[in-house]
Structure 1
Amino acid sequence: MSIDIETAARVAKLARIKVESEDLPALAQSFNDILGFIEQLNEVDVEGVEPMVSVTPMRLKRRTDGVTDGDMQDKVLANAPDAREGFFAVPKVVE
C-alpha cells in the first residue's frame, strides 16, 4: 500500500492538523515508512508465541470487581456548566 500526497492531505485534514502544501510530500513519505514497518512486522512468524504484558514475566495484579465509590451524582454534576434532570446538558451538535 502506498500513500500519495492527496491521501496525506486528507489524513491531515481528518486529524485536524494544519500541514503546509510543501510539507505534504514529506508527510506522505513518513506514512509510507510507517506502513513499510508494519508490513515487516506482519512477516514475523508469531505462531505459538503467547501475548505478553511486559518484557519481564509477570502477572497482572487482580482485585475484586466491586463499586468502591459511587452515589455521588450531585457532586459530579456540581462541576457541570449545565446540568438538567440529573444529566450533563450539552449543546446540540448534529442537525
Structure 2
Amino acid sequence: MNINDELINKLQRLASLEIDSNKLDSTKQNLSEIVNFVENINTLNLDNIEASFNAIKSELQMREDIPYNAEVRDLILKEAPSSEDGFFIVPKIIE
C-alpha cells in the first residue's frame, strides 16, 4: 500500500488531527513500515495453527459473585470522602 499525501490528508480528517508539515515525511515513512509489517504477517501460512481466541464461540467463565475479606473493603472505604453501607457515595452527575 502506498502512503501518499492524499491518504495522509484523509487520515488527518478522519482522526480529527493535524500533523505538522515538517513531520509529514517521517509520518508517511512510519505508516509505510507498519503497513509493510502487517502485509508480511498476512503472508504467513497459518493453516495448521488453531486460533487461540474465537469471538463466535466465546463463553465467559461464570463464578458466583461473593464478597470476601470485608476488612479490605472497610480499609478502602475509610479513605473515601463519603460512604454508606459498604458503598462509596458520589455526587449526582445526571439531572
Task: Give the TM-score of the pair, scaled to structure 1.
Answer: 0.55
Q: What percent of counterpart residues are identical?
A: 21
Q: Which has the higher helix share?
A: 2
Contact 1:9 1:19 in 2 (8 A): no
Whole-angstrom CA distance in 2 between matches of 1:16 and 1:8: 12
CA deviation map 1:34-69 (0-9, x unaligned): 11001100010000211225xxxxxx86106xxxxx
Aligned to 2:50: 50
Aligned to 1:62: 61
Whole-angstrom CA distance in 2 between matches of 1:50 and 1:25: 40
Whole-angstrom CA distance in 1 between matches of 2:10 and 2:36: 20
* Residue ranges of structure 1 left out of the alignment (5+ in a row): 54-59, 65-77, 84-95
Which consecutive aligned stretches of 4+ in structure 1 deviate over 4 angstroms post-superposition?
none
Task: Give the TM-score of the pair, scaled to structure 2.
Answer: 0.55
**Structure of higher CA gyration radius:** 2
* Residue ranges of structure 2 left out of the alignment (5+ in a row): 54-58, 64-91
2:93 is aligned with what amino acid? N
Q: Give how far 1:21 is off.
A: 1.2
Q: Give how far 1:5 is off.
A: 2.2
